[in-house]
Structure formats: C-alpha cells, structure tokens
Amino acid sequence: MKFVADESLDFQIVERLRQEGWDVSYVAEMEPGISDPDVLHLANTREALIITSDRDFGELIFRQHLVSHGIVLVRLAGFTPQLKAETVSSAINLHQTELPHSFVVISPGLIRIRRQLQ
C-alpha cells in the first residue's frame, strides 16, 4: 500500500511509516504549497492513500464527491509527534485491509472507518 502524506502531517509520522517499510511520498519534500485538489490528484495518479491532518479532504470527498483511493485523517491534537507516529502506525498496521477506498479518522482512543463509494 502506498501513501501520499500531506504537508500538514508531522514528519515523525512519515519517518515512522517509512521505517516500517511503507511507501510514503511526502508533499513537503516534493511540491510544498500545492493545493488539496492537487494533492488528491497526485495520490490518485500514484494509486495511493492520502494521510493528512487537514479536514478539508472531507469536504473534497463528501461534498464535492471527488474520488480517492482512501484518506487517513489524523486528529491527535495534544499528542507529541512521537506518540502521534506510534498511534498512526499502530492503526495502519491493524486496519490495513480496511483502508483502501475508505475515509479513516484516527483520534484519541478511536478509529472510525467509513467506506467510500467507488
């Protein structure tokens, strides 16, 4: 499974996922400042899921009905970057078969997975 990490995401999460062998492209390293629709297009071109802390992707998927390979929204305010990385890594490893074509929200003590229409 491939990921495109939005530049809003803590680098520690990107680094942790890469260390575990996941294919993670980081917008901040490739094309900083691109728009959310451009991030979505980039992820779709790569057949990758987006991992982000930006709630605007929910707007793109549910209100504008744009297509994605999946979105992982990280909502862990107050967590240290290291604890965020550990929490996200654990969630991805536990639910990896459910992530494609889903909108996933990782928040303290809760992982919500909503399947998208394909």
The count of structural domains within the chain is: 1
Q: What is the pLDDT of residue 116?
A: 72
DSSP string, the chain: -EEEE-TTS-HHHHHHHHHTT-EEEEHHHHSTT--HHHHHHHHHHTT-EEEES-THHHIIIIIS----S-EEEE--TTS-HHHHHHHHHHHHHHHTTT-TTEEEEEETTEEEEEEPP-
Q: What is the pLDDT of residue 26?
A: 98
49: CATH: 3.40.50
What is the extent of the structural domain holding 85? Answer: 2-115
Q: What is the pLDDT of residue 33?
A: 93
Q: What is the pLDDT of residue 56?
A: 92
The list of the chain residues with pLDDT below 50 reads: none
Q: What is the pLDDT of residue 23?
A: 98
pTM of the model: 0.93
Q: What is the pLDDT of residue 65?
A: 87
Q: What is the pLDDT of residue 118?
A: 53
